[in-house]
Amino acid sequence: MPLNTVVCEQSSNYFARKTVMEDPTDYQKVPKRESGKILKRVSLERLMDLKVDYAFKQLFGNEKNKNITIVFLNALLQKTGRNQIKDISFLNIESGGEHAEDKQSRPDLLVITNAGERINVEIQFTNQYDMVKRSIYYWSGAYRGPFKKKMTYSELRPVIAINILNFNLFHQTDHFHTTYHLYEDEEEFMLSDVMELHFVEMPKLIKDWKDDKLDPWNDVLARWLMLLGMVDHRKDEVYGKIYQELEEIAMKDESLRSAFQSWEELSMTQEQYLAYESRLKRIIDEEAAQREAELRIQAAEKEGLEKGRKEGKKEGKKEGKKEGIKQGIEQGMEQGIEKGEENAKEAIASKLIAAGMEVRLIAETTGFPEERIIKMLCETQE
């Protein structure tokens, strides 16, 4: 909830792992040649980072680019044995609860296929530390959304959640693409195909590329994910070698060539690029504010611990007469630490409010409920 929208008022309240391959003869390597044949009007550095949700939506959520979106989705879904998508329709709906006060959110990309399956794609530039639950939440909204009166449960269609992450999430595996379904625990047979979750971790993909473990000439998914990873505006880096290889492949791959052309057109449109830069700046500013808040909390916890120890010793001496010195010191230390942490978090919340950060982000950073943040905001406006 943005701070400028707050109203202050009184209230009482899996399948076997597969690689998406094509016949090597379809994309025989051609001799190396001078780069720049695909991008003719903008430099590599000017290209938008497709891991920023705004750029991703503009490229893959555009009706005129529907064909490349279909190719991209098929590359992801072939791993789990899904049938080829022939056509999609873009959906532009809110995902949320059944009541007006429930949390609402808009998916980055939501489509329905010719087979009636819904696919929700989320691109996450920043680690919010809640990605698994967030994905299930979006999945649940897309699954129950079409259910209307007089419908039967058998009419509910599968929903596939695809999460493309600009950070590492799972430490249990080095695979950059993992998939999840509903299985029986012991015999591992599938309960239902209505739920399918995909997670793509881009840093692991780039590491595999650097370790020469990817073959974009024959692996369609690697090809498209390398396209997403080619420009990294957070690190101010562009992988020119990825571009050179994809440029060669694009001479044979019409869909990839079309994606490059649309990407270039998007990046050279002044209005679109300004909107992209604004979104990127907001993301980076939120990252910086959250990191600063974390550092302040750590400092406050350290200060609170020291203060708690001192107050604990004093309080412990008094209580020790009744309950024993050891118990009194421990209790006093706990009280001092809690008081120090509470004061520090209130100070941080006040600074974040003054900086204009969203209520939701302040609540997540400090651990305070949103109602308390709103109350603090209202007190500053009185």
Q: Write out the chain's pLDDT in tens, 382 residues.
A: 554 445 454 433 433 444 444 444 344 443 443 445 788 888 899 999 999 999 999 999 999 999 999 999 999 999 998 899 999 999 875 544 444 444 445 568 999 999 999 999 999 998 877 899 999 999 998 998 888 878 888 889 999 999 999 999 999 999 999 999 999 999 999 999 999 999 999 999 999 999 999 999 999 999 999 999 999 998 889 999 999 999 999 999 999 999 999 999 999 999 999 999 999 998 888 888 877 777 777 777 677 666 666 666 666 556 555 555 556 556 655 665 566 667 777 877 787 787 777 787 787 777 888 888 888 888 877 6
Q: Is residue 275 part of a domain?
A: no
The answer on 351 and 245 residing in a single domain is no
Instruction: Answer with the one of 238, 268, 298 that is the final residue of a domain.
Output: 268
| Residue 273 covered by a domain | no
Residue 293 sits in the same domain as residue 203: no
The total number of structural domains that make up the chain = 2
In this structure, what token pair is assigned to residue 372? 């308390």
Based on the fold, state whether residues 209 and 334 are members of the same structural domain.
no
H or E segment at 128? none
- Do 300 and 367 lie in one domain? The reply is yes
The answer on 301 and 218 residing in a single domain is no
Residues 297 and 263 in one domain: no
- For residues 49 and 147, state if they share a domain: yes
Same domain assignment for residues 35 and 66: yes
In a domain, 311, yes or no: yes
Question: Which residues does 373 contact at the CB level (< 8 Å), separation at least 6?
Answer: 349, 353, 359, 362, 363, 366
Q: Which of 128, 172, 143 lies closest to 358 in space, CA to CA?
A: 128
Asked if residue 355 and residue 238 are part of one domain, the reply reads no
Does residue 6 lie within any of the structural domains? no
Q: Is residue 95 part of a domain?
A: yes
The reported pLDDT for the residue numbered 330 is: 60
Residue 36 lies in a domain: yes
The whole domain housing 195 covers: 16-268
pLDDT at 313: 62
Residues 251 and 337 in one domain: no
**Is residue 316 located within the same domain as residue 374?**
yes
Do 191 and 247 fall within a single domain?
Answer: yes
Looking at 233, 268, 303, the residue that finishes a domain is 268
Tokens linked to 288 = 């910086």
282 lies in a domain? no
Model pLDDT, residue 222: 97
Amino acid at 145: G
Instruction: Report the run of H or E that residue 254 belongs to, with start and end.
Output: helix 254-268
| In-domain check, residue 277 | no
